[in-house]
C-alpha cells in the first residue's frame, strides 16, 4: 500500500520558497528602517549638542554652518526613512500575498494527507475484515460423531 503523492507538492515548494524570499525582503526592509531611525536619532542628538555659545563672529558663522549642515542631514535622513517605510510597507504586502498563496496549498496538502490516510485505513480495515471472515469460516468446528448420536 503506497500512499499517493500530493500532485501539487512541487508548486507548494515553489510557493514556500517565494514566501521565504518575501519574508527575507520584509526583514531586510524592517532592518533598514530601524537603522535609519537610529541614524536619525543620532543626528538629532548631535544637532542638540551644537553649542550656542558664541564669542566671535567666526564662532557664530561656525555654529550657523553646523546647524545648517545638521538640518540638511536630518532632512535627508527623514526622506530616506520615509522611502524605507514605503519599501517596508510594500515588502509586507508582498509577504502577506505570498503567505496567502502558500496557505491555500498547505490546506489542500493537509486535506490530501487526511484523505490518503483515511483511504489507507479503509483498505487496511477491508483486509482485516476479510482475514477475520476467512478465519471464522475455517474455524467452524464440525460436530464430533459422538455428539451427533442421541
- The answer to whether the pTM exceeds 0.85 is no
Give the pLDDT of residue 100. 95
Q: What is the dihedral of CA 16, 19, 24, 25, to 10 degrees?
A: 150
Give the pLDDT of residue 83. 95
Q: Which DSSP string corresponds to 24-60?
A: HHHHHHHHHHHHHHHHHHHHHHHHHTS----SSHHHH
Burial class (CB in 10 A: 0-12, 13-18, 19+), 50: middle
Looking at per-residue pLDDT, the higher value among 66 and 91 belongs to: 91
User: Residues 126-149: pLDDT tens digits?
Assistant: 998 888 888 777 766 555 555 555
Pure H helices in 1-150: 9-48, 57-139, 145-148
User: Residues 98-128: pLDDT tens digits?
Assistant: 999 999 999 999 999 999 999 999 999 999 8
List the grid coordinates of 24: 527575507
User: Residues 26-78: pLDDT tens digits?
Assistant: 999 999 999 999 999 998 898 888 888 888 998 889 888 988 999 999 999 99
Give the pLDDT of residue 140. 60
Amino acid at each position: 500500500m503506497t500512499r499517493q503523492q500530493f500532485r501539487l507538492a512541487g508548486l507548494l515548494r515553489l510557493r514556500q520558497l517565494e514566501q521565504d524570499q518575501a519574508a527575507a525582503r520584509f526583514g531586510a526592509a524592517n532592518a533598514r528602517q530601524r537603522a535609519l531611525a537610529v541614524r536619525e536619532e543620532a543626528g538629532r542628538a548631535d544637532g542638540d549638542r551644537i553649542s550656542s555659545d558664541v564669542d566671535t563672529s567666526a564662532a557664530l558663522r561656525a555654529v550657523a554652518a553646523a546647524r545648517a549642515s545638521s538640518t540638511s542631514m536630518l532632512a535627508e535622513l527623514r526622506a530616506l526613512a520615509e522611502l524605507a517605510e514605503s519599501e517596508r510597507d510594500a515588502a509586507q504586502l508582498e509577504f502577506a500575498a505570498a503567505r496567502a498563496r502558500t496557505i491555500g496549498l498547505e490546506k489542500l496538502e493537509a486535506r490530501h494527507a487526511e484523505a490518503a490516510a483515511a483511504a489507507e485505513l479503509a483498505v487496511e480495515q477491508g483486509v482485516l475484515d476479510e482475514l477475520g471472515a476467512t478465519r471464522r469460516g475455517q474455524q467452524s468446528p464440525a460436530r464430533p460423531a459422538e455428539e451427533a448420536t442421541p
